[in-house]
Amino acid sequence: MRHPFPYEHFRNKSFVFFSLVGTLPLAPALRSRLAAAGFQTAQELLDTGPCGLSKEIGISREEALEALQVVRQECHGDAARTPGGSGATRKCTALELLEEEQTQGFIITFCSALDTILGGGVQLTKITEICGAPGVGKTQLCMQLAVDVQIPECFGGVAGEAVFVDTEGSFMVDRVVDIAAACVRHCHLIAEAQQEEDHREALETFSLENILSHIYYFRCRDYIELLAQVYLLPEFLSEHSKVRLVVIDGIAFPFRHDFEDLSLRTRLLNGLAQQLIIIANDHKTAVVLTNQMTTRIGQSQSTLVPALGESWGHAATVRLIFHWDNKSFQTGHSGSWPWSATCQAPEAQEFSHWGWDSVG
Query: Could you list the residues that contact another protein (CB under 8 A)?
Result: 25-29, 66-67, 70, 73, 146, 164, 168-169, 173-174, 176-177, 209, 211-225, 227-229, 231-232, 235-236, 253-254, 256-258, 264, 267-268, 271, 294-295, 297
Q: Which is nearer to another protein, 221 or 314 (CB)?
A: 221
Least distance to another protein, CB of residue 122, Å: 19
Q: Which is nearer to another protein, 282 or 347 (CB)?
A: 282
Q: Which is nearer to another protein, 69 or 194 (CB)?
A: 69
Q: Which is nearer to another protein, 108 or 272 (CB)?
A: 272
Least distance to another protein, CB of residue 48, Å: 18
Least distance to another protein, CB of residue 247, Å: 12
Least distance to another protein, CB of residue 220, Å: 6
Q: Which is nearer to another protein, 191 or 279 (CB)?
A: 279
Q: Which is nearer to another protein, 41 or 270 (CB)?
A: 270
Least distance to another protein, CB of residue 217, Å: 5
Least distance to another protein, CB of residue 349, Å: 22
Least distance to another protein, CB of residue 179, Å: 11
Instruction: Tell me the C-alpha distance between 126 and 113, whole Å.
Output: 20
Half-sphere exposure of 324 (CA within 13 A, CB side): 10
Q: Which is nearer to another protein, 258 or 310 (CB)?
A: 258
